Amino acid sequence: MKKLCLCFACVGMMLDISAQELQKAQASMPKNEVYAGLGLLNDNQILAMATDIVSTVVTLGYLVRPGSYQAFTPFAGYRHWFTNRFGLGGIFAFDANSVEVYNENDRTQMRTINRRYMTFAVEPIFNYVYKPSWQLYGYLGLGTTIVSFADATFDNGTKVNVSRVPYINVHVTPIGVRFGKEFGGFAELGYGYKGILNAGFTYRF
């Protein structure tokens, strides 16, 4: 009986120590995080490239030809961690590409239209695994991309009217890994406004 009581006492002490360690880790975990990185082939670039290839008419009397595209998308963001499992943050990403436009009646009159994309999004994030020195996580981002077109003026004085166009954009990252404590790095696999493969640096405080 004494041995059984002693066994229960030891188990209770171990559980109490584990709970204290968990509370200590939770209390000491930084709540704020800033990060910056690059994404490879995001949806804006892929969609623009595909549209330019299959499109023939941009507006009345004008044709298009694919121009230049960026492989990498720079982005930066901030997160607030409510627990060591769940956080919520915002992100800004920037993109640019171009398309060549010319008059079908005079193909020598060609100009390049530059397109710029600014994406603002909110991202809830969840840690599948949390360790002080590394985390395994996933998240879903939802936001708005605003694309602006630079004016193109032809030699004959004709202008292609342009505007800023907003649209809803998303990003899905089923798997990502962060390594390091306060200063660290991350790598992600997903698809959307960041890119298929994303990597960068992060700081928690």
Per-residue pLDDT of the chain (205 residues; tens, 9 = 90+): 555 444 444 444 444 544 455 455 455 678 999 999 999 999 999 998 888 877 755 555 567 777 888 999 999 999 999 999 999 999 999 999 988 877 666 666 677 788 999 999 999 999 999 999 999 999 999 999 999 887 655 555 555 556 788 999 999 999 999 999 999 999 999 999 999 999 999 999 9
Contact 99, 52 (CB under 8 A): yes
Q: How far apart are alpha carbons 55 and 32 in whole angstroms?
A: 45
Q: How far apart are alpha carbons 91 and 89 in whole angstroms?
A: 7
Record the tokens describing residue 47, joined without a space: 């969609």
Looking at residue 160, its pLDDT comes to 58
Tell me which DSSP letter residue 82 carries.
Answer: S
The phi and psi torsions of 2 (rounded to 5 degrees) equal: -65, -40
What is the sign of the dihedral through the CA atoms of 73, 144, 189 and 76?
positive
What is the model's pTM?
0.77
CATH architecture for the domain at 31-204: Beta Barrel (2.40)
The phi and psi torsions of 26 (rounded to 5 degrees) equal: -65, -45
Q: How far apart are alpha carbons 123 and 146 in whole angstroms?
A: 18
